[in-house]
A and B are shown apart, each in its own frame.
Chain A
Amino acid sequence: MSNNSNWFRVLTYVFLSAFALFNIVPLFYMIVDSFKTEPEYAASPFSLPTKLHFENYAKAWDIANMDTYFMNSLIITFGSLIITVLLGSLTAFFLARFKFRFRKSTFAIFLLGMLVPIHATLIPIFLIMKNIGLLDTYWSLILPYTAFHLSLTIFILEGFMQGLPKDLEESGVMDGAGVYRIFWSIILPIARPAMATVIILNFIYNWNEYLFALVLISSEALKTLPLGLANFVGVETASMTLQMSALAIALVPIIIFYLLLQKQLVTGMTAGAVKG
């Protein structure tokens, strides 16, 4: 028995380590190449740098205009993330835990958003933003990001909340708590892992979004990081090493954010939350 589980443990580690290695290699090369000069990279992309060119990072920071773009990305990412998750979790709660007319059709409409090929909406959204006078403002990105990620947010949370035990709210109902109260103090705490999931997904999608930012924002003062990251590539030329430096910088917030949230992802909330 214990022999068996030891074997299982070893196998698990072998598998996970191989998997991890596979996932770390790209990061490793990104960091390695970010310290090289361009000719050095062109001559041998996969060798170690002869000298660490830290100044690449300063240059990359400037070229990608990170002074401005970084803050804009934070504002837009968090602005839409907060709205999406708040509105989305509430909607998911109603869709998952209540029976009412149009429930199915409302859900279906939200589901549709997950299937829309994003490029098709580019010109229509551009024209809408122009007509309501929001073109070239933070709102021109926050609103589409919210609208498109509401679908996924609702979809994941609804699925999760469906899976919760049916009698969960009963204690709340008996206490005479209203629906918002039940949502806030019973469902939300218990849904923490799923909330963490959608927050992470929203963060990544917003943080990396390129196409809408490209078209809807024209002022340098309002542009986001992905636009800056594209600054390194011309038609026939590219500064790969500087781009790697910039990519590495842009990755830091995502990793920090993920590390902060992944704890929530796996906290054994169930027992405690149900009882309390």
Chain B
Amino acid sequence: MNTLKGTRAAIFFGMLPALLIYIGIAIIPIFVSLYYSFFNWDGISAKSAVGFDNYVRIFNDSVFWLSVKNNIIIMVTGLIGQIPLGLLLALLLNRNLRGSTFFRTVGFMPVVISSVMVSLIWGMIYNSEYGFMNALLGFFGLDSWQRNWLGDTSISMYSVSLAYIWQNCGLYMVIFLAALQNIPGEVNEAAELDGATGLRRVFRITIPMIRSTILVAVVYSISNSFRVFDLVQILTGGGPAHMTEVMTIYMYNHAFVSRQFGYGSAASMLILLFSLIVVSLVNRLGREKDS
């Protein structure tokens, strides 16, 4: 819309309260953290300035890079798993289906139930002695596929990812459901006249029409994957031996458990930096295609 006279003031005053609260409470702390990241500080005793020492030490810590790798696993599997699954659910539940309210509700349940329950349930699924997963594999005669899902370090991170996807796909279902309402009925009718049915209609008409929301979901999924904490903390605690540790847990352990607050702040700045790089890349790719 063209900028009308007087709207500029309306825009300014309309966004001002949001900006004030946001900058005061969310942005300033980031800079405070950045400042702390150049100190050696336990939070209580006097700070001592160490320059970039914290960053250097983090870069030299193999555990940190392990956590970066685990974050990438969560990010990629999250994107591959959550978005298509969420979209599929939304497409199925957007139609007049008997019981769709019920399915929409239970589909969203994993998002709202406490992480305590999530971890209890997935602990039960993955348990190597009496877990569902191994029992199921045994039932189909696939005994050789049975594993210690969380204990076996070659697959534990993927097991965590699966729980993560399960916990969050309802979120994307809701976002996509909302977006699908935006497609006017006429479009679908026109498509039907053109003979576009089923999958073809989904790919040729539906998906392009909710492009911008898909981009939102992708960015949201990436940002969530960099901030995942509760689920991993409660499911494996980052173990065994750092094998499922993600960057936020790495940061938390240093800042709050070992009380190296400066070092932890430096780690959190790197989390922010990495996610910023990925998100702005994705955003650029997405928006470029748009225009």
Q: What is A's interface to B at a CB cutoff of 8 Å?
A: 8, 12, 15-16, 19-20, 22-27, 29-30, 46, 83, 87-88, 90-91, 93-94, 97-100, 106, 109-121, 123-125, 127-128, 143-144, 146-148, 150-152, 154-156, 158-160, 162-164, 169, 173, 178-180, 192-194, 196-197, 200-201, 204, 208, 229, 243-244, 247, 250-251, 254-255, 258-259, 262, 265-271, 274
Contact = CB atoms under 8 A, between A and B. Distances in A.
Sorted nearest first, the 6 A-B pairs with minimum C-beta distance are A120-B268, A159-B216, A124-B29, A147-B25, A193-B178, A124-B32
Contacts of B24: 128, 143, 147
For A83, A144, A179, A244, the residue with the greatest tally of chain B CB atoms inside 10 Å of its CB is A179
For A119, A204, A270, the residue with the greatest tally of chain B CB atoms inside 10 Å of its CB is A119
Contacts of A123: 36, 43, 261
B33 A124 contact: yes
Interface string B1-17: 11110111011001101
Given A119-B256, A146-B21, A254 B112 contact: yes
A125 B109 CA distance: 31
Contacts of A274: 184
A110 B113 contact: no
Contacts of A124: 28-29, 32-33, 36
For B7, B25, B32, the residue with the greatest tally of chain A CB atoms inside 10 Å of its CB is B25
A164 B97 CA distance: 26
B181 A159 contact: no
A16 B23 CA distance: 43
A116 B30 contact: yes
A4 to B, nearest CB: 9
A150 B21 contact: yes
A143 B21 contact: yes
Contacts, number: 274
Contacts of A160: 178-179, 182, 212-213, 216
A265 B268 contact: no
A215 B273 CA distance: 26
A29 B114 CA distance: 13
Interface stretch (B51-59, B62-70, B137-145, B220-228): B220-228
A153 to B, nearest CB: 9
B117 A247 contact: yes
B191 interface: no
Interface stretch (B74-82, B153-161, B169-177): B169-177
B29 A159 contact: no
Given A98-B7, A147-B25, A200-B174, A117 B105 contact: no
Given A94-B11, A156-B175, A116 B272 contact: yes
Interface in B198-242: 198, 209-213, 215-216, 219-220, 223, 226-227, 229
Given A19-B107, A29-B120, A192-B181, 10 more contacts: A26-B121, A111-B279, A113-B26, A143-B21, A162-B212, A178-B10, A179-B7, A180-B14, A208-B112, A268-B181
B25 to A, nearest CB: 4
B22 A94 contact: no
Nearest to A16: B103
B128 interface: no
B220 to A, nearest CB: 7
B30 A179 contact: no
B219 A155 contact: yes
A114 B7 CA distance: 28
B49 interface: no
A233 to B, nearest CB: 9
Given A163-B211, A163-B212, A251 B33 contact: no
A24 B216 contact: no
A30 B117 contact: yes
Given A150-B18, A160-B178, A262 B105 contact: yes
Given A180-B14, A258-B108, A208 B3 contact: no
A160 to B, nearest CB: 6
Contacts of A8: 198
Contacts of B117: 26-27, 29-30, 244, 247
B255 A119 contact: yes
Contacts of B28: 124, 128
